Copies of this chain bind each other. A is one copy, B any other.
Amino acid sequence: MSKKNQIIQSAIELFATHGYENTSISSICTHAEVSKGAVFHHFSNKDELLRAVFIHMAEVINEVENDIAPQNEGLPALERLVNLLEQIFLTMAMTERHLSYQFEFQLLSQPTTRAILKDLIDDRYQKMLDQFQSILQEIPTANGVVDSHMLIAEIDGIALNYVFYKNDYPIETIKNRFINKYLLLLGFEKRK
């Protein structure tokens, strides 16, 4: 792995566990086993490193999603919606993803990091919005824009609470009642 990648990997880990402000460049160097000069050679400053980290994380997530997405081709909208939600809850339950979820919430809710990443965050939100809208516009009972916002928000909220309360969280039951709620709202029958 290149030094640049070592740095990004260590930064992800340390930013996520201790927070951006509480992670010094020094500690990243120690963790990544590189010198301070190396960090500033590859990234002009700490903010740029954070942006690189955010972009890297988005790429990793995209790869995973792209692996699954094609299977949805050609299915009716309702099935695609349910499949998408199932997939989202599935990745949410993967414990190795918890850290990156936590990290993202941190970046969103901290004023400084939010400002640094503003454009990237907005892009990312727009993509999620498009993904849901492209499905919902095919369902006449749906309010494409509003329901997309609502879906994203609610999933965010569930992920937020889940990753922080982990063990005791009834995530499986929530998933089922969550999907059923939407089926009913859109005028379909409950599952099971």
Contacts and interface: CB of A to CB of B under 8 A. Distances in A.
Interface residues of A, number: 44
B170 A161 contact: no
Question: What number of copies of this chain does the assembly contain?
Answer: 4
Which DSSP category, helix, strand, loop or mixed, fits chain A's interface? helix
Contact of A146 (B149, B161, B177): B177
19 contacts: A22-B112, A102-B109, A110-B110, A114-B164, A147-B177, A149-B169, A149-B170, A149-B174, A150-B177, A152-B161, A153-B161, A154-B154, A154-B157, A155-B157, A156-B160, A157-B157, A157-B160, A181-B182, A184-B185
Interchain residue pairs A-B with the least CB separation, the first 8: A157-B157, A21-B21, A105-B109, A184-B184, A156-B157, A153-B161, A153-B157, A154-B154
